[in-house]
Each structure stands twice: as structure tokens, then as C-alpha cells.
Amino acid sequence: MSDHPVRFSVLTCCHKYLQRLRVFLASLARQDLPLEEFEVVVTDPGSPDGLKDYLETLRRAQPGMNVVRVEVPEEKRRNRGWMIARAFECSRGRTVMAADCDIVMPPDFIRTMLAESEQHPKNVLGVYRNLLSPETTAAIIVGLIDPVAGFPRLMQEDHHEDQGFRGVIGYCQVVPRTVMEKTGYPQEFDHIATSDVEFVKRLGQQQDVTPHFVKSTRVLHLWHPRNWEGTEEFL
């Protein structure tokens, strides 16, 4: 791991989501920010899809990329909030992003969010997403579509989510480190949903931190079956 100051930490978790995590990490590896200036912290509750071996292979292939694997108990696999909180404890960035591991970011994404966070330190930042179809998602996963190179075209698919959710939902929540330290990420919900919405609610109640959507960038969101209790499939 580099001793270079880390400006930005991406906090995520993965259980049976390796196919989509690979795409997520590939988009991070192609950010226009120097690799040593950000890190990715992945909590792993013993994911049975080869996650540990894949992350070790990624480190060898991308030695300049800071990827931290945090091993957590298997019984926490559904508790997204608990896993994000553990990832935060192991992170170093001055700005942090709680993220789902099934989004694709454009190359200037981290740079943009860093600048926005500096301008809006009393906001929890989110972005709008373009929800991809099952067919497009499958083509990305098997390598028939490069989602970073094809980002502008994929943003034209008819699945834009322009309204979003006023609470800035969990596929992308960016705050200064000091904000998350003070409030903490909710850990009492033993399922995939709720902790992200509750986090924003508590930020408003405890620190007067309010949600704000950054309109100068977006993400692609890979399709997946919706199951708030955690998937039994390998996604």
C-alpha cells in the first residue's frame, strides 16, 4: 500500500457480486486521478465466488491501485450498513464514498466529487444514474461492451433516473470523513436496504448535513434482480 496521502476512499461490500464488482473496479482503475490518491475498501463476508483470489490478482495486475480487502464474519453478509462501517474504519481518505459495487463511473468521477465535496462540506452528495437493461448489463459482464469507453453512448439508453431519491440513496453517498466519523453509518438493519436512507436522515438531524445531487456527472447502474435480503445467486 502506498504511503502517499489518500484523498478519497471508496467504501463498498461484496457477497456473491464478483461479476459486477469487476466492472466497478475496472472503472475505478481508469480514473483520471493518480491511483495513489484514492483507495477502494471492500468488505468480504467470505464471498463464495472467488472474491479474495480476484482481489489478490488485481493487486498484482494493478500494483499502484490501493485495494483493501476487509474480512468480516459471514453472518454479516446481509448487513450492508455494518459492512460499510467496517470499511470506513479501515479507510484513510479525507473524503469518503459509500457505494454499491455495481455502478460504473466515468473517468473524471472522483475528481469531480472531490471538488464538489470541497465546495459543499455541509452536504451529502449523490449523483443521478442511468439504469442499464439486463441485456446491456450481460454484454458488459462478458466483455462485449467496454462501459468506460462506451459511457456516452450508454448514457443514451432509455433508463434515465432524472428525479432520483431526495435522500441520496446508497449507490453513491459522498461526505467529508469528519461527517461520517461524527454520525457513523447505521448498523442495526440486517438487510441490504434502509441503512443508506437512515444515514442521510441522521446526518440532517445530528449535523444539519443535507442531500445534494451533483448534476455535472452521472453513473451507470448495472441491472440486477432486486432482493433486499441479499442474493442467493452469483451476480
- Extract the C-alpha cell encoding 18: 464478483
**pLDDT for 1:** 44
**pLDDT for 180:** 97
**pLDDT for 211:** 93
**pLDDT for 17:** 86
DSSP 118: H
- Cα–Cα distance measured from residue 15 to residue 78, given in angstroms and rounded to the nearest whole number: 8
Question: What region does 127 belong to: left with phi over 0, alpha with psi -120 to 50, or beta?
Answer: beta
Is 193 within 8 Å of 135 (Cβ atoms)?
A: no
Domain total of the chain: 1
Q: Is residue 213 included in any domain, yes or no?
A: yes
**pLDDT for 169:** 78
Is 222 within 8 Å of 23 (Cβ atoms)?
A: yes
Q: Is residue 124 included in any domain, yes or no?
A: yes
Q: Is residue 67 included in any domain, yes or no?
A: yes
Q: Is the pTM of this model over 0.75?
A: yes
Q: Is residue 75 included in any domain, yes or no?
A: yes
Q: Is residue 199 included in any domain, yes or no?
A: yes
Q: Is residue 232 included in any domain, yes or no?
A: no
Q: Is residue 33 included in any domain, yes or no?
A: yes
Per-residue confidence of the chain (235 residues) as pLDDT tens digits? Answer: 445 689 999 999 998 889 999 999 999 999 999 999 999 999 999 898 889 999 999 999 999 999 999 999 999 988 999 999 999 999 999 999 999 999 999 999 999 999 999 999 999 999 999 989 999 999 999 999 999 999 999 988 766 665 555 557 789 999 999 999 999 999 998 888 899 999 999 999 999 999 999 999 999 999 877 664 555 665 6
- Extract the C-alpha cell encoding 5: 496521502
Q: Is residue 233 included in any domain, yes or no?
A: no
Check which CATH number belongs to the domain holding 144 and give it: 3.90.550.10
The whole domain housing 167 covers 8-221
